[in-house]
A and B are shown apart, each in its own frame.
Chain A
Amino acid sequence: NAGVTQTPKFQVLKTGQSMTLQCAQDMNHEYMSWYRQDPGMGLRLIHYSVGAGITDQGEVPNGYNVSRSTTEDFPLRLLSAAPSQTSVYFCASRTGQGSYNEQFFGPGTRLTVL
């Protein structure tokens, strides 16, 4: 299994540009999540999904959109990038609703907005 994959690894945007961060998992996990991590800070939850067709907001959802059309993919869209969105973005997945199950994280996408 490849686990959780994220593309691209690095991205530079200009203010106002839009882009989509890709996340895919091949473990048939129901839960998928997006986090951002600012320098020296912890992880903050942006959006999450408990299954295909179901998404919900996390702690910091403003400026981001998500959709979940398949179990495998959970893209994160920045509609109009702002310098405040400069961060490292991590995608994660886990199986089932039970709190027994651990999360698996991707390697991250480092985004800079100029």
Chain B
Amino acid sequence: DAKTTQPNSMESNEEEPVHLPCNHSTISGTDYIHWYRQLPSQGPEYVIHGLTSNVNNRMASLAIAEDRKSSTLILHRATLRDAAVYYCNGMGGGADGLTFGKGTHLIIQP
């Protein structure tokens, strides 16, 4: 099963880039890597996902290691609204693809 490992918390300053790491060394070759975030008192929301290539969208960028055992979510210019818990998830089939780790609590300092 695609278990993930993330740092418990990270801190960054407003308007600076943030790199959030995730290790998923047991991910299978066909599992997409998904990132979600959870703002305070809200349900999680989708951020970005990818398989092998780096991906960009309006919210963030996703850099995936060549061996796919790790990935990094990049917030290019953090704002106070980016303070949240960020979860990475190796989306396999069955319950494995629905299981989340503890995530990284991102703190943004003004």
The finding on whether chains A and B are genuine partners in a shared complex, rather than unrelated, reads: yes
Chain A residues near B (Cβ < 8 Å): 4, 31, 33, 35, 41-45, 48, 50, 56-59, 90, 92, 97, 99-108
| Residues A102 and B92 in contact in the complex (CB < 8 Å), given A43-B87, A43-B100 | no
Q: Scan residues 12-57 of chain B and give those whose CB is less than 8 A from a CB of chain A.
A: 30-32, 34, 36, 42-46, 49, 51
- Interface check B93, CB cutoff 8 A: yes
Cα A102 to Cα B32 with chains together (Å): 10
* CB-CB under 8 A for A42 and B93, given A90-B43, A102-B46: no
Q: Is B77 an interface residue (CB 8 A)?
A: no
Contact A42–B95 (Cβ < 8 Å): no
Cβ of A100 and Cβ of B49 under 8 Å apart? Answer: yes
Q: How far, in angstroms, from A110 to B44 measured CA to CA in the complex?
A: 15
Contact across chains for A99 and B98 when beta carbons are under 8 A apart: no
Q: B99 and A45: CB pair below 8 A?
A: yes
CB distance from A105 to the nearest CB of B (A): 4
* Distance between Cα atoms of A99 and B32 in the complex (Å): 6
Q: Which residues of B contact A41 (CB under 8 A)?
A: 102
Q: Is B63 an interface residue (CB 8 A)?
A: no
Inside 8 A of A48's CB, which chain B residues have their CB?
95, 98
Name the residue in B32, B36, B95 with the highest tally of chain A Cβ atoms < 10 Å from its Cβ.
B95
Sample of 23 A–B contacts (CB below 8 Å): A42-B87, A42-B101, A42-B102, A45-B99, A56-B95, A57-B95, A59-B95, A90-B43, A90-B44, A97-B93, A99-B32, A99-B90, A99-B91, A99-B97, A100-B49, A100-B51, A100-B91, A101-B91, A102-B36, A102-B46, A102-B49, A103-B46, A105-B43
